[in-house]
A = this chain, B = another copy of it.
Amino acid sequence: MPLVALLTDDQAAPEARAVFDEIRAARGTDYVNNIWRALANDPKQLRMTWDQVRAVMGPGALDPLTKELIYLAVSAANNCEYCLHTHSHAARAKGMTDAMFAELMQVVLLASQTNRIAISLQVTVDDRYLAPAAAR
């Protein structure tokens, strides 16, 4: 049960409806996800978040599917039920197969474990891995 109302187009302020329209145009669908309808209670944050999504998730040095896989991995680490559901669908829409999903999860599970080893045993970073990229 959300903490705020999921605003319909009629309930949303004009600035929020403008973002809804941009989402529809960008995604080629009339459907607007619940997270945007929740954010519409604060049109300023809705605008900031949507602008960031658009700036980040398009093609660049990484392709859009790789970005979705990374998104999904972070959502798994952060325990976000909503994001796991929506971004696994987004990843599949961009070409993620069952085999790719399985391997993504294998890496998430392996990292969950090795991260915990390094943290639990307080392993010192090897000197050779300490120099920042620009100094190499």
Chain A residues with a Cβ under 8 A of chain B:
1-7, 11, 31, 33-35, 38-39, 41-42, 44-45, 48-49, 52-53, 55-57, 60-62, 66-67, 69-71, 73-86, 88-89, 92, 97-126, 128-135
Copies of this protein chain in the complex: 6
Decide yes or no: A98 and B132 within 8 Å by CB, A107-B57, A122-B85 being known contacts. Answer: no
Question: What are 23 of the A-B contact pairs (CB < 8 Å)?
Answer: A3-B85, A3-B122, A4-B101, A5-B135, A6-B132, A33-B126, A34-B125, A35-B114, A35-B121, A39-B117, A42-B102, A49-B114, A61-B97, A61-B99, A61-B103, A70-B104, A70-B108, A70-B111, A71-B110, A74-B74, A79-B119, A82-B118, A83-B118
